[in-house]
Chain A
Amino acid sequence: MQQPTSALELRGLTKRFDRLAVDALDLTVRVGEFYALLGANGAGKTTTLRMVAGLLRPDEGSVTVLGIDALRDPVGAKQVTAWVSDEPMIYDKLTPLEYLEFVAGLWGCVAEGIDRSARDLLASLGLAAHMHERCEGFSKGMRQKVALAGALVHDPRLIILDEPLTGLDAVSARHVKGLLQARVQAGCTVIMTTHILEVAERMADRIGVISAGKLIAEGTLDELRRQNGQSDTSLEDMFVALVESAPAAA
């Protein structure tokens, strides 16, 4: 069977709440790519990613995850995807190890090797000393790391992260970035939203900027600079210029 070249393909993706949140969005993310999706508050980033993760049903359009039509075969698409939101949702009364065991069970992971990889994951995120403590006493950063470990434990091929670095200290943020880059080097695809533009600048292979539910710019940092007509401007300056010049939401 031919391997898909796109990890994610969105075509005409549309979602309306009381206003149009995502407006006929077309987006392609290649396999093995680190893609940063940027946008101002309320631009439609989270709504888009929630539709990709199967948490929201689009009003129109299609979502294809690694060649799988996510609207027709949501279970198949979810099998290869992981989702981490900015508000870590974990169980207060479970320990991190028990949480990872649960996640591995939900994704139908085979028992061999899961114990080792769960412990290694927690250790790599600096949680080795806390793996037998219930999560109820954890700080937001620690909870975020547990949620992230849960997303990685079933070895997903597409990782979708909505503001994953919120609440993390500098050391933890570096651990997380290292872990994500290692996954990308191993062939995994990462799509991340962030307001920390320096992270996008340093880590992303390509950057997409979304405004009022539409993709208004996309490319590598150099491509974005060329599109913007400035060769040495920072991503922050470009982002502000793009968002301020974009038309307002419908």
Chain B
Amino acid sequence: MTSPGTMWFARHETRLAWRELAGMLTAGRRWRPRSATVMVIAFVIFLHLPAYAVVGRFADVRTPIDKPTLIVMTASILLAWALILSQAIESVTRVFYARADLDLIMSSPAVLTNVFSVRIAAIALTVTVMAMLLATPFVDVLVACGGARWFAAYPVVITMGLSASAVAIAVTVSLFRLCGPARTRLVAQIISAITGAGFVIALQVAAILSYGTLSRFAVLTSDAAAAIAPDAGSLLWWPARAMLGEELLLAPLLACSLVLLGVTMAVLSPRFGNYVAAASPKQVMRAAPSARKLRPGTRRGALRRKEFKLLWRDPWLVSQTLMQLLYLLPPALMLWRSFGDGPGALIVLAPVIVMAAGQLSGGLAWLTISGEDAADLVATAPLPGRSLISAKIEVVLIVIAVVFAPLIAALAWAAPNLAAVTALATIIAAASATSIQLWFRVQARRSQFRRRQTSSRIATFAEAFSSIGWAATAALALVVPTAAAIAAALTATLMALTWKISPVRD
């Protein structure tokens, strides 16, 4: 017997990655490649509309370009890179903690350095392919409106995918050394969440503090930014210039990203096995022994306490809540800056708060209602099903109230009417998202949270559109009440339709 070769393992990894992707596309149901392909194509075609709105105006840009355009393009590339990095950190963490085959691989006679080199390459490949897929509508729009030179954007996206993967692996391994395996997962998820959102939010904060607007372009196109930005020949602008078709810059950028990934593989592959082994769930999280006596309390109280404890100890939720709070930072700053200016300047806050509340409620509701790790225990407990569900819903609404009440209270000082509308819309958005999760509830483990979107696409889209609908209603309520009534009616209709097709009616 010989040890398995690298190519064999690469084929195995490719098959796993393909089936994982297929599982996401088909929501884990029976294999239906044709309908899944049609849906993906339809979705990608649909994405061309927002892509046109975002990048259409840059299509005619030609070299040499002015500094503000270079700054905006480079910032956009940096933002995209941050999002890819965020996704890559998530992928690496999953390889460390969630793959069920690591014991098998590590007990096999395969050369582990080769195996983990392939696995690192597979991470890079997956991240890059995903980035290419998401970039396709944007590049298509640029090519259609600005010519074939924009095809150079694809190699730049590959560069971004490869470099982000290398950095993600290095960051995760560094976290292992710094925090230990028990905490790395949580910290990595928080870093992933903050990396994805942090750059946009930082720009918004800067725009609010400097120009009193939520628009990040205010900072990027300002004279101050142009004054401190380096000259056109600087390395900083290479990705933007390469994207515009300067082949001479494209080759070194690609080479650099490949070298970065190669060095990462060479340095970390031999040690990857040790890190993976250290991340096994045998690590012990020990709570300090407490002298407190057990106080079971009431049945509903016990359920609520359990849910609060689990939510508090849930790394995903902690990172998502932090991200939501991060998204709320610019509106909060805006509120502080515009205090006393009347509701006009603050009206933009209502949809942000309502949207955030709807999204957070959906995630929380899935975790509490569907993500029940001890389903048999709870189902055999002596209390009616509706008491169980209502205790879980109470937990969702309490968490939403704790997160959003301070912001709405602050808004009430500046603009009472706007605060009242925002509060009402927040409650309705949270109730809608929770109801959708209730109607589409499934029995799942909390660790399956990442796949919740694929278990019911109807629920996912309904949740997103209801949050958007109630956010739009809140934004329009004080400005164009008639339009707000139409938005509310449309969203209510969406909710009614969702209920009608939900499994809860069966």
Contacts and interface: CB of A to CB of B under 8 A. Distances in A.
Interface of A: 53-55, 75-76, 78-79, 81-83, 85, 89-95, 97-98, 100-109, 111, 114-115, 118, 132-134, 136-137, 147, 150
Nearest to B282: A137
A106 B379 contact: no
A106 B446 CA distance: 20
A75 B384 contact: yes
Given A91-B373, A136-B281, A81 B380 contact: yes
Interface residues of B, number: 40
Interface string B289-327: 110011111110111011001100110000000000000
A100 B374 CA distance: 13
B382 A78 contact: yes
B299 A108 contact: yes
B38 interface: no
A12 to B, nearest CB: 23
B294 A55 contact: no
A106 B467 CA distance: 34
A86 to B, nearest CB: 11
Contacts of A90: 373-374, 377
Nearest to A77: B382
Contacts of B446: 92
B375 A89 contact: yes
Contacts of B447: 92
Contact of B376 (A83, A92, A100): A83
Contact of A104 (B286, B294, B382, B384): B294
Contacts of B298: 105, 108
A155 B314 CA distance: 31
B286 A93 contact: no
Contacts of B309: 93-94, 98
A137 B302 contact: no
A100 B299 contact: no
B294 A94 contact: no
Q: A76, A102, A118 — which one has the most chain B CB atoms within 10 A of its CB?
A: A102
B306 to A, nearest CB: 5
A91 B383 contact: no
A79 B287 contact: no
B287 A101 contact: no
B104 interface: no
Highest count of chain A CB atoms <10 Å: which of B297, B310, B313, B381: B381
A82 B382 CA distance: 10
A93 B310 contact: yes
Given A89-B375, A102-B296, A104-B296, 13 more contacts: A55-B380, A75-B384, A78-B382, A83-B377, A89-B374, A89-B377, A101-B294, A102-B305, A105-B305, A106-B383, A107-B382, A115-B294, A133-B286
Given A97-B294, A133-B284, A137-B283, A89 B373 contact: yes
Which of B296, B303, B384 has the most chain A CB within a 10 Å cutoff? B296
A17 B376 CA distance: 19
Given A94-B306, A102-B305, A78 B296 contact: no
Given A79-B382, A105-B302, A111 B310 contact: no
A131 to B, nearest CB: 8
Given A94-B306, A107-B382, A101 B373 contact: no
A150 B293 CA distance: 17
B288 interface: yes
27 contacts: A75-B384, A78-B380, A79-B382, A83-B376, A85-B376, A89-B373, A89-B376, A90-B377, A91-B306, A101-B295, A104-B296, A105-B296, A105-B299, A105-B302, A105-B305, A106-B299, A106-B302, A106-B377, A107-B381, A108-B299, A111-B295, A114-B294, A132-B286, A132-B287, A132-B289, A134-B287, A137-B285
A150 B288 CA distance: 21
A114 B305 CA distance: 17
Contacts of A89: 373-377
Nearest to A110: B296
Contacts of A133: 284-287
B287 A102 contact: no
Contacts of A106: 299, 302-303, 377-378, 381-383
Contacts of A115: 293-294
Contact of A108 (B285, B373, B376, B382): B382
A78 B377 CA distance: 11
A164 B309 CA distance: 28
B457 to A, nearest CB: 27
A102 B373 CA distance: 13
Contacts of B295: 101, 111
Nearest to A83: B380
B281 A109 contact: no
B285 A136 contact: yes
A118 B292 CA distance: 13
Contacts of B378: 106
